[in-house]
């Protein structure tokens, strides 16, 4: 959208990032000397906090950095063929030009030579196939595309735009039994391993297998762990906006509510402080709750959905290694929930310094993360986009493009061939690195874990869900109930919470040594 008459942009819901909000605001007042205006329309109460934090970050010029990719070799391979089509190139001259781009400023000679070999003969495993001999030097030493057919195919693939695909969810079976249930984000299914369960369309399903772009499932037994699916995972809360939110909560803790948004949010934050505590900077707030569903743990790292999914999976994996336990997970941009039907003394686990260090520690972080999130499957699916950009997979002619299923089948074949016969293929390494840096955000996850280790722990045993915990419960219920039942359930839960909020504070009992809260233990909180 780039129209001069646009006077104001309405941002429905949070933009989840400061730079993203400014970019969208810039679509109004699009002329020299004109003012850009944006109005944020929150979709729930806590987005008032995000709105106040966004204003604070903009005024402080705390804007997210635009980080350049690190040596994307698939793009370089495509560029080599493109330049060869445009008159050819001399390798030494082109290398100096390529290193002038920030992303390739430290491109190693070995990586450059590998790319030249890849476009010339397809690398060690594809030498026998003429269609991968895309560029060759002529008698003058200039590298050109020698085949007109390969040149036409490449021109139709220049500037490839990749995006996340959807996967079909189908019952495992034959004939009429193999019913299609719907579609789900590929990035979600790729994180699951065979036997994992998830909620979909009100059904608890167990993943049987994944073939190309279809996830085969069967009904799971009641009480099994469930991971709710979620959409929009490509825009998690940014670190800059999260930091500004914690500063707003710091001000709220000290009784400062300057902005209109924080003034409207004051009653909710007062209730959070009354029932639990505010998750301010320097404080790791852990809330535990016992319910008919089991034992809940709520944490609030304020690190975005993807990082919270990684932390939740990591904690479940590490706790499960010490004792048999089954967990369901729910995440949003503010925090995460772990639910276990078996008793888990989260207060004791987190209060024990060596135990907490093991849970949030950086030791073998990559190994535990890869094991808990099925990173091998993620890498194979990431490789599909790399294969498209690098020209390994032809996407089809205009009007007859290949489907995502066909592209996945073709790229999956290359992935397996390279793994078996060319394990040092640099495109494989790129796929694994992009999964860690982009899909799992391992750098941001490691920073979040380091901050959690440094924060002072505050454990609260809840008698009922706190205002910050309530959205996490709804996140999990969203897939468990139909729309009508979910609305009724939420309204009933809200009525119960509002009655509890209007009730007087709990009576404090006198004990030797001073006052203690009426709810001080998990057992008392469950009553």
Total domain count for the chain?
4
Residue-level pLDDT at 128:
86
Same domain? 46 vs 139: no
Tokens representing 465? 């869900």
Residue-level pLDDT at 520:
37
> What span, in angstroms and rounded, lies between the C-alpha atoms of 335 and 440?
16
Q: Which of 155, 178, 195 is the last residue of a domain?
A: 155
Strands (E), 421-486: 456-461
Per-residue confidence band for 485, with pLDDT thresholds at 50, 70 and 90: low
Per DSSP, what are the bridge partners of residue 337?
298, 330
More confident call, 420 vs 475: 420
Inter-residue contact 314 to 303 (CB < 8 Å): no
- Where do the H-state alpha helices sit in 108-205? 109-121, 148-155, 186-189
Query: How large is the average pLDDT for residues 58-72?
Result: 89
Lowest-pLDDT range of 406-415, 447-456, 474-483: 474-483
311-362 residue pLDDT tens:
998 888 888 877 767 788 888 899 999 998 888 888 888 877 777 888 888 8
Query: How large is the average pLDDT for residues 21-35?
Result: 86
380-396 residue pLDDT tens:
878 888 888 888 887 76
Residue 417 scores a pLDDT above 60: yes
Per-residue confidence band for 68, with pLDDT thresholds at 50, 70 and 90: confident
Same domain? 55 vs 121: no
More confident call, 525 vs 219: 219
Per DSSP, what are the bridge partners of residue 336?
299, 331
Per-residue confidence band for 34, with pLDDT thresholds at 50, 70 and 90: confident
Same domain? 326 vs 408: yes
Residue-level pLDDT at 388:
86
Same domain? 271 vs 286: no
> What span, in angstroms and rounded, lies between the C-alpha atoms of 479 and 203?
8
Within a domain: 502 = no
Q: Which of 440, 435, 433, 388 is nearest to 412 (CA)?
A: 388
Secondary structure (3-state) at 419:
helix
Same domain? 411 vs 374: yes
Segment (H or E) for 340: strand 336-340
Which residue is listed with tokens 């998830």?
198
Other CB atoms within a 10 A radius of the CB of residue 141 amount to 10
> What span, in angstroms and rounded, lies between the C-alpha atoms of 387 and 227?
30
Residue-level pLDDT at 136:
93
Residue 108 scores a pLDDT above 90: yes
Within a domain: 524 = no
Residue-level pLDDT at 206:
87
Query: How large is the average pLDDT for residues 205-217?
Result: 86
Residue 462 scores a pLDDT above 60: yes
More confident call, 430 vs 378: 430
Same domain? 266 vs 290: no
Per-residue confidence band for 399, with pLDDT thresholds at 50, 70 and 90: low
For the four alpha carbons of 362, 366, 371 and 372, in that order, the dihedral sign comes to positive
Secondary structure (3-state) at 93:
helix
Per-residue confidence band for 525, with pLDDT thresholds at 50, 70 and 90: very low
Within a domain: 402 = yes
Within a domain: 499 = no
Q: Is 385 left (phi over 0), alpha (psi -120 to 50) or beta?
A: alpha
By the 10 Å C-beta count (0-12 exposed, 13-18 middle, 19+ buried), 73 is classed as buried
All residues at 6 or more sequence positions from 389 whose CB lies less than 8 Å from its CB, including other chains: 74, 75, 77, 78, 160, 162
| Crossing angle between the packed helical segments 73-85 and 109-121, to the nearest 10 degrees | 60
Residue 193 scores a pLDDT above 80: no
Average pLDDT of the chain to the nearest whole number: 83
Q: Which of 353, 154, 23, 527 is nearest to 146 (CA)?
A: 154
Strands (E), 42-165: 136-137, 143-144
Enter the pTM of the model: 0.73
Per-residue confidence band for 83, with pLDDT thresholds at 50, 70 and 90: very high
> What span, in angstroms and rounded, lies between the C-alpha atoms of 454 and 353?
11
Same domain? 260 vs 291: no
Lowest-pLDDT range of 48-62, 158-172, 201-215, 261-275: 158-172
Same domain? 325 vs 428: yes
Residue 463 scores a pLDDT above 80: yes
Residue-level pLDDT at 259:
93
Within a domain: 29 = yes
> What span, in angstroms and rounded, lies between the C-alpha atoms of 493 and 470?
9
**Percentage of residues in the chain with pLDDT exceeding 70?**
85
Per-residue confidence band for 482, with pLDDT thresholds at 50, 70 and 90: very low
Query: How large is the average pLDDT for residues 192-203?
Result: 78
Within a domain: 486 = no
Same domain? 438 vs 367: yes
Distance of CA 348 to the CA centre of its chain: 30
Same domain? 23 vs 128: no
Within a domain: 23 = yes
Residue-level pLDDT at 81:
94
Same domain? 82 vs 136: yes
Strands (E), 143-268: 143-144, 166-171, 180-185, 197-200, 203-211, 214-219
Residue length of the chain:
527
Within a domain: 491 = no
Give the residue numbers spanning the domain of 125: 73-155
Same domain? 42 vs 102: no
**Percentage of residues in the chain with pLDDT exceeding 90?**
36
Per-residue confidence band for 484, with pLDDT thresholds at 50, 70 and 90: very low
Q: Which of 227, 249, 275 is the last residue of a domain?
A: 275
Residue 459 scores a pLDDT above 50: yes
Q: Which of 104, 126, 155 is the last residue of a domain?
A: 155
> What span, in angstroms and rounded, lies between the C-alpha atoms of 233 and 187?
9
Residue-level pLDDT at 523:
38
Query: How large is the average pLDDT for residues 220-248?
Result: 72
Q: DSSP readout, 246-286?
A: HHHHHHHHTT---SHHHHHHHHHHHHHHHHS----TTEEEE
Residue-level pLDDT at 480:
54
């Amino acid at each position: 959208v780039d129209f001069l008459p646009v006077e104001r942009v309405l941002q429905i819901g949070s933009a989840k990032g400061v730079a993203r909000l400014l970019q969208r605001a810039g679509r109004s007042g699009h002329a020299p000397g004109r003012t850009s205006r944006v109005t944020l329309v929150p979709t729930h109460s806590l987005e008032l906090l995000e709105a106040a934090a966004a204003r604070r970050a903009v005024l402080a010029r705390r804007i997210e950095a635009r980080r350049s990719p690190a040596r994307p070799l698939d793009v370089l391979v495509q560029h080599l063929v493109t330049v060869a089509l445009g008159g050819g190139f001399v390798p030494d001259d082109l290398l100096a030009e390529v290193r002038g781009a920030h992303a390739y400023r430290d491109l190693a000679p070995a990586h450059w030579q590998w790319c030249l070999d890849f476009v010339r003969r397809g690398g060690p495993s594809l030498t026998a196939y003429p269609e991968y001999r895309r560029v060759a030097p002529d008698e003058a030493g200039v590298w050109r595309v020698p085949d007109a057919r390969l040149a036409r195919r490449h021109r139709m693939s220049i500037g490839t735009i990749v995006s996340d695909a959807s996967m079909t969810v189908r019952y495992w079976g034959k004939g009429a039994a193999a019913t299609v249930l719907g579609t789900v984000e590929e990035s979600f299914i790729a994180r699951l391993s065979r036997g994992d369960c998830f909620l979909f369309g009100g059904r608890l399903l167990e993943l049987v297998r994944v073939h190309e772009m279809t996830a085969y499932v069967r009904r799971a037994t009641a009480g099994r762990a469930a991971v709710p699916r979620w959409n929009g995972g490509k825009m998690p809360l940014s670190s800059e906006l999260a930091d500004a939110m914690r500063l707003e909560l710091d001000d709220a803790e000290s009784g400062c509510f300057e902005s209109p948004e924080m003034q409207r949010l004051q009653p909710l934050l007062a209730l959070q402080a009354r029932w639990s505590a505010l998750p301010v900077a320097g404080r790791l707030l852990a809330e535990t709750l016992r319910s008919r569903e089991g034992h809940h743990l709520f944490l609030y790292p304020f690190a975005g959905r993807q990082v919270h999914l990684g932390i939740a999976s990591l904690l479940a994996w590490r706790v499960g290694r010490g004792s048999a336990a089954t967990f369901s997970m729910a995440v949003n941009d503010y925090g995460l929930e772990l639910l276990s039907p078996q008793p888990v003394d989260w207060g004791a686990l987190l209060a024990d310094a060596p135990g907490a260090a093991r849970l949030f520690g950086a030791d073998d972080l990559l190994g535990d993360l890869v094991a808990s999130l099925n990173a091998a499957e993620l890498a194979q699916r990431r490789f599909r986009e790399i294969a498209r950009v690098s020209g390994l997979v032809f996407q089809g002619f205009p009007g007859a493009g290949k489907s995502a299923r066909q592209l996945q089948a073709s790229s999956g074949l290359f992935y397996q061939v390279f793994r078996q016969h060319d394990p040092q293929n640099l495109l494989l390494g790129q796929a694994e690195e992009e999964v860690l840096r982009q899909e799992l955000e391992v750098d941001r996850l490691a920073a979040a874990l380091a901050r959690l280790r440094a924060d002072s722990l505050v454990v609260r045993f809840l008698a009922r869900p706190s205002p910050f915990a309530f959205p996490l419960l709804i996140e999990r219920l969203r897939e468990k109930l139909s729309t009508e039942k979910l609305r009724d359930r939420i309204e009933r839960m809200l009525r119960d919470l509002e009655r509890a909020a209007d009730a007087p504070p709990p009576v404090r009992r006198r004990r030797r040594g001073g006052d203690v809260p009426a709810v001080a233990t998990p057992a008392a909180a469950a009553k």
